[in-house]
């Protein structure tokens, strides 16, 4: 029998990353940050001079991506071809490029098995856009996390400030809205809740409150 999976899908900045990490820690489960795979594909493209619309070349890059996820005390260190790119992949530019390569079917197919390989005992918390709809349709519990675009821009702003990265709130809001639109309107694996997902609006919830609720729901499912 396959290991249990909790899928957390939703738009960028809804808190999925932090919440997934905390829930995985609490349960002792593995963590899949699927967005990082798209960000890494985009970064690899830049490194190798591949254009963001060259689907066959991007598909090859995605299929042969040399990455390592190293779990550390309060974060995951991410290596691309042996180099630490943990910070570089978090920029808005990398996020934007990621959402472009993520609209290509060939790239998504190339990353599918790699994502499923993260499913090992005792369980997996999978963070992304299509975890419940495409990658793990048989997950134990599927949650779709949302928050208003303004709140998500504000959270991203605070996150960036904390990391010492310069940003403007209004341009972050514009980028978030543009990325939402692209993720929801694309023809392959568009961002939408699975039919059997529970939707949770986190606009006025704290991170510990969300973590609590998710672990309760999971416990109820046995």
Would you say 15 is a known binding-site residue?
yes
**Judged by CB under 6 A, does residue 59 bind ligand C5P?**
no
Q: Per-residue x/- marks for ligand C5P, 160-199, CB under 6 A?
A: -------------------x---x----------------
Would you say 110 is a known binding-site residue?
no
Indicate which single residue of 29, 38, 118, 144 sits in contact with ligand C5P (rule: CB under 6 A): 38
Cα–Cα–Cα angle for 170, 74, 160, rounded to 5 degrees = 15
Output 4 or 179, the one with its CB closest to ligand C5P.
179
CB 174 to ligand C5P: min, Å: 14
Output 92 or 201, the one with its CB closest to ligand C5P.
92
Whether residue 135 contacts residue 126, with contact meaning beta carbons closer than 8 Å, is answered with yes
Q: Which residue has the tokens 């919830």?
A: 205
**Tally of CB atoms within 10 A around 124:** 27
CB 189 to ligand C5P: min, Å: 6
CB 32 to ligand C5P: min, Å: 9
**Judged by CB under 6 A, does residue 35 bind ligand C5P?**
yes
Q: Which residues in 100-159 contact ligand C5P (CB under 6 A)?
A: 102, 128-130
CB 173 to ligand C5P: min, Å: 15
Binding region for ligand C5P (CB under 6 A): 12, 34-35, 38-39, 95, 98-99, 102, 128-130, 179, 183
Residues contributing to the annotated binding site: 10-18
């Amino acid at each position: 029998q396959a290991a249990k999976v909790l899928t957390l899908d939703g738009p960028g900045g809804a808190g999925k990353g932090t919440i997934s990490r905390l829930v995985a820690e609490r349960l002792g489960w593995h963590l899949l940050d699927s967005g990082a795979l798209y960000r890494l594909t985009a970064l690899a493209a830049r490194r190798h001079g591949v254009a963001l619309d060259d689907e066959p070349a991007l598909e090859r890059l995605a299929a042969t991506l040399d990455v390592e996820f190293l779990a550390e005390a309060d974060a995951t260190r991410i290596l691309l071809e042996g180099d630490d790119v943990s910070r570089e992949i978090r920029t808005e530019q990398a996020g934007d490029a990621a959402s472009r390569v993520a609209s290509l079917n060939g790239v998504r197919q190339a990353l599918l098995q790699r994502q499923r390989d993260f499913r090992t005992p005792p369980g997996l918390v999978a963070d992304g856009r299509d975890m419940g709809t495409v990658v793990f349709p048989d997950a134990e519990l599927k949650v779709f996390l949302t928050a208003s675009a303004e709140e998500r821009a504000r959270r991203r702003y605070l996150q960036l400030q904390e990391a010492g990265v310069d940003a403007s709130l209004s341009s972050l809001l514009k980028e978030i809205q543009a990325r939402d639109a692209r993720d929801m309107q694309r023809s392959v694996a568009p961002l939408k809740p699975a039919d059997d997902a529970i939707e949770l609006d986190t606009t006025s919830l704290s991170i510990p409150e969300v973590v609590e609720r998710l672990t309760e729901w999971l416990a109820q499912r046995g």
